[in-house]
Amino acid sequence: MSLFQSDFWKDYIVVILLTVILGAGVAAGASRALEAFLGAAVQALLGEAGQYDLIVHVRESSRSAAAADLPRRLAEVHPDILVREGVALAGNANFFVKLPEALYTQAALEQLAARLSAVPGFNGYSWMLEPSITVTGLRAGMRDLLALEAARLPGVRAVVRHGASLTVLLTSVEEQRAVAEALERRLSGRHIVELRWPEGAAADVEGAVRAVAERLQPRTLRDVTSAPGTGGSLERLGAELAGAAEQWQKLLEAGAAAAEAAEKLGALLDALEPALALAETPEQQGERLSEAVRSGDGADAVGQALFRVVLTNVLQALAGEAAAAGGGTLPLHELRAALQALAEDAVALRQLQEEDVYAAFETLRELLPAAAGATVAELLVDEAVTPEAVAEAVREATGQAVEAYASSPGVVTPNPRGVVVELLANARRAVAGLIAVAVGLAALVLDHAAVLAAAEHMPGSRRGRPWLAALSGAALVGATYALAGGGIPYVGPGAAFVLGAALGLLVMAGARRFSPVAEEEIVAGQALGLSDGQIMREIVVPAGRPGLMTLLNARRRTFR
């Protein structure tokens, strides 16, 4: 291309380099300013990132006791743990806890969480570790397996298991996408198949795993059955019980009703006791009735005698068999004692607090796992392996009539701040990318359209014009995009170079319109024996639109 046989090419390259550097600076600066502005707004809303690591929820009624107990208890773990009491919400006092760096390990975090249940009024806790990703809906076995795998991922600082979730603490927020994708890869395309043996049957879990492996040959097969004492079915039982607040309320109401009923029954007994004390045998009743008739005291005396007979029979009917077995007399002292016990139980029921219920659940977890684990197995297999196929394989191999159900292995959910930070970073990248494209396009129109339009009239440069346009566009847009950290969805760095080349060709097609050049002046220059580079420097560029090239060229041209 004759245009580049002169030293004009140096100017051209310098202009492209300067455009890329300045454009990338503008794009990166503007996008980071936008991110900082939006980030400040987010921080005002959510608080400073990493300010606290944990919120301990305590029943508001126990706030004072917890305020004294929690710092002391946490100081035993590490003297540098900071505790600040926050606002009370929905009946819960909240204590914000900041942990020292030394505690950012799985063992330390999980042990710390285990200690919290002893805090007076303890009503749960929430991890605020940042930056982090949380995986929810995990079976205990799956959770433990994933915890091991996640801990080995690059960018992961620590993992914390809690309930049916796993919180993965990252080394930096930039790792969020990569780690989330790595966790997604471990979950997607797989599911948990839960095998249930009939009640009382001796489950052959090993045989079942072997049967699935041999008969279905899945790419993924892991026994993630919850180990005894770590949850599993009981984990879910605990979760279900913990979530049964409504049923708990009904239970309390039933207790109150029972206490009231027992009280009223007691009062009724007190009222009836004198009458019951007069209860007579049928023989005595017959004699009393005959006496009343014989005495001639009249209808009143007969009526009273009849009333006693009826009342006695009614009471005996109420007492049922117990009264009959007692030879016709009611065991009033036993009835009274039973009512008293019922009333006391009801009062005790009303006095039960959630902590006692949770304690009961924990006891259940300790007592029941062996029985639950014995009849349930959980296998992580490919999604293509259906529960029906698994059940069939186990039945055929072991002869055991098992039932199989499929469920999701877990869901990756970056924490809200992480999502917002990720969104802001995406927005920054998109803005940087858009600015980079705009800068590249502006440079093409302002600086390069004149050159491309003029090259059309230069026989030595005409053929290479499309290459010049495509390469200039690719360099301007692609390099600016990459340098500015641009990230428009679906437009990677490679695509940005292609986009730039396309824009270069587009500008070339409309070069005359974007930057009209006087063809006759170019022809005059050619007739005077000027080179293409001289024509560009002395005739075309000075007459072009103001831009970086015009600015640089002004210092180099001879005729100012």
In the complex, which residues of this chain contact another protein (CB under 8 A)?
2, 5, 459-460, 518, 520-521, 523-531, 534, 538-539, 542-543, 558-559
- β-sheet bridge partners, residue 413: 134
Least separation in angstroms between CB 529 and another protein? 4
Residues 6+ apart with CB under 8 A from 545: 445, 446, 447, 449, 450, 514, 515
Instruction: Closer to another protein by CB, 440 or 525: give it.
Output: 525
Please say whether the beta carbons of 516 and 453 come within 8 A: yes
Please say whether the beta carbons of 473 and 443 come within 8 A: no
Least separation in angstroms between CB 532 and another protein? 9
Residues 6+ apart with CB under 8 A from 542: 550, 553, 554, 557
SS3 breakdown of the chain: % helix, strand, coil, rounded to 5?
A: 65, 10, 25
Instruction: Closer to another protein by CB, 299 or 528: give it.
Output: 528
Tell me which residue of 2, 32, 139, 13 sits closest to 431, measured CA to CA.
Answer: 32
- The H or E element spanning position 211 is helix 205-216
Least separation in angstroms between CB 38 and another protein? 47
Least separation in angstroms between CB 528 and another protein? 3
Least separation in angstroms between CB 467 and another protein? 19
Q: Which tokens hold the place of 262?
A: 């027992």
**Residue for token digits 């979950």?**
187
Least separation in angstroms between CB 12 and another protein? 18
Instruction: Closer to another protein by CB, 101 or 520: give it.
Output: 520
Least separation in angstroms between CB 542 and another protein? 6
Instruction: Closer to another protein by CB, 5 or 284: give it.
Output: 5
Helical packing angle, 63-77 and 106-115, nearest 10°: 150
Instruction: Closer to another protein by CB, 165 or 526: give it.
Output: 526
Q: Which tokens hold the place of 550?
A: 């015009």
**Residue for token digits 């699935």?**
212
Four-point Cα dihedral 151, 154, 158, 160, nearest 10: -50
Instruction: Closer to another protein by CB, 172 or 558: give it.
Output: 558
Instruction: Closer to another protein by CB, 57 or 457: give it.
Output: 457
Least separation in angstroms between CB 508 and another protein? 22
Query: For residues 439 and 90, what is the distance between their CA atoms, to the nearest angstrom?
Result: 53
Instruction: Closer to another protein by CB, 490 or 559: give it.
Output: 559
Residue 361 has phi, psi (to 5 degrees) of -65, -40
* Positive/negative CA dihedral, 485, 487, 488, 494: positive
Least separation in angstroms between CB 554 and another protein? 12
Residue 503 has phi, psi (to 5 degrees) of -65, -40
Least separation in angstroms between CB 468 and another protein? 17
Least separation in angstroms between CB 27 and another protein? 33
Residue 495 has phi, psi (to 5 degrees) of -65, -30
CB neighbour burial string for 185-211, b if at least 16 within 10 angstroms, e if fewer:
ebbeebbbbbbbbeeeeebbbeebbbb
Please say whether the beta carbons of 3 and 536 come within 8 A: yes
Instruction: Closer to another protein by CB, 220 or 526: give it.
Output: 526
Least separation in angstroms between CB 8 and another protein? 13
Least separation in angstroms between CB 460 and another protein? 6
DSSP letter for each residue of 214-265: HHH--S-EEE-PPPTTS-THHHHHHHHHHT-HHHHHHHHHHHHHHHHHHHHH
DSSP letter for each residue of 148-167: HHHHTSTTEEEEEEETTEEE
Query: For residues 462 and 474, what is the distance between their CA atoms, to the nearest angstrom?
Result: 19
Q: Which long-range contacts (CB under 8 A, 24 or more apart) does 288-294 make?
A: none
CB count in 10 Å sphere of residue 378: 24
Instruction: Closer to another protein by CB, 237 or 530: give it.
Output: 530
Query: For residues 164 and 508, what is the distance between their CA atoms, to the nearest angstrom?
Result: 60
Least separation in angstroms between CB 521 and another protein? 5
SS3 track for 51-114: CCCEEEEEEHHHHHHHHHHHHHHHHHHCCCCEEEECCCECCEEEEEEECCHHHCCHHHHHHHHH
